Structure 1
Amino acid sequence: MPPSESRARTFTETARRAQIIAAAIDTVNAIGFHRASLAEIATRARVAKSAIVYYFSSRDALMLSVVEEVFSRVETAVAAAEVVEGGPAARLGAYARAYLSYVDGHRAEVTAGVEIVVSHRVEDGTPLYLLRDPDDSSLLRRILREGMDEGAFRRMPLDVAVTLVESLLDVWTSELQRDLEAELGSFGEQIVEFLLQGIAPSPDAA
């Protein structure tokens, strides 16, 4: 196969995969995870169901690809927080703002990704959201650990701190799941302010 033909095929396959993933996102948001069949997704993607199976092998594979695509982009969006100057509190604030800004700008993708994570079960029946990988929150862990080591954040088990921060940030996503077109105004900045005040050392800390 000539190189130009190979490149064209690669570009076409990449574009088709993106088209199917976008259709899966639209379908999950429109009718929910459990009703989002390959037939429904194929209709929205304007492709044959066999084309989806060609690229993703199964519905589960497609849904997991959506999750990987969505949350790898979230990780990229918050990565800049690692180089922000001003100490752990500044980096945590930058992390939170980058996360909220990305979610706000990619509402459909993130809300669909969250629904899949909450609804999907792996082969042994375990919900996907319970399969936590510490690497998924490695940047947040570093920021929180550094803040506790330096006395900038109140001390608590690291896993607890990560869960609290992620749960607070996910309030934003929950509001969007209720209404993708919600006007949230200053809600994001209020979340960041509440987060930074809550993680700060208590006044009577030794």
Structure 2
Amino acid sequence: MGRTFTESGRRAQIVQAAIEVVAEVGYAKASFSRIAKQAGLSSTGMISYHFAGKDDLMHEVVAEVTRVTAGFMMPRIAAAEGAGARLRAFIESNVELLAVWPGHLKALIEVLPNLGGDDPATVGYKASLQQVMEGQEQAVRAAQEAGEFREFDPRLMLVAMRGAIDAVVMRWVGDPSFDVTEAGRELADIFDRATRAEP
């Protein structure tokens, strides 16, 4: 039986509160009592009603962050014309997430290592990243065949790009005043020059 509109709304409210609490105090200190207070609930019972335990709630946090980030990035990438523009949109929107959804990214960085490598949410998140990587690799190869990108090892270039984006994320974690929008533009410029076909 599906959830009612009210139940779905309450679950979403709890997940949002969990994201905010984890982002603020970290995974270890994100107790049900803190999350209940953040959500404006009178007790932790409502959380226990909707979620089997902390791991169950954190699985939904990972799923929600994944939905939000995809919803932010995908329209921008889809609207870009040409391989170079799509690459730029991917990098800039990925980095700009830090400015637009800072709590979501902080929560994800906190939650994933604490769930453990064999946890279903962690496995699922890594699988979705792998799926994205494989799709990007196919797109890069197609752009090379079309003459939009020069010849290079697509997987190596994508790994370098992912590493560069992750490095920006880690710098931002250490210094939230870091200008991530400008960093995204610079990173996009670097990889545009690295991939562009010679005229």
What interval of TM-score do these two structures reach, taking the shorter chain for normalisation? 0.7 to 0.9
Distance 1:56 1:149 in 2: 49
Distance 1:95 1:184 in 2: 14
Distance 1:185 1:83 in 2: 19
Within 5 Å, which residues of 2 pair with 1:1-206?
A: 10-47=4-41, 48-80=43-75, 81-85=77-81, 87-121=82-116, 124=118, 128=122, 131-133=126-128, 134-137=130-133, 139-151=135-147, 152-156=149-153, 158=155, 160-184=156-180, 186-200=182-196
Q: Which amino acid aligns with 1:193?
A: D
SS in 2 for 1:34: coil
Indicate the structure whose relative CO is greater, using CA pairs within 8 Å and at least 6 residues apart. Answer: 2
Aligned-pair RMSD on alpha carbons? 3.0
Q: TM-score, normalised by structure 1?
A: 0.76
CA deviations over 1:120-148 (Å, ceiling 9, x no partner): 215x5799378434324455344333234
Question: Once structures 1 and 2 are overlaid, which stretch shifts more, 30-39 or 176-185?
Answer: 176-185
Give the Å deviation of 1:17.
1.6
Which residues of structure 1 form unaligned runs of 5+?
1-5
Contact 1:88/1:146, CA 8 A, preserved across alignment: no
CA deviations over 1:161-202 (Å, ceiling 9, x no partner): 33322222223322332244544462221121122233446x
Give the Å deviation of 1:110.
1.5
Cα distance change, pair 60–24 in 1 and its aligned pair in 2 (3 A): same
SS in 2 for 1:27: helix
Contact 1:27/1:44, CA 8 A, preserved across alignment: yes
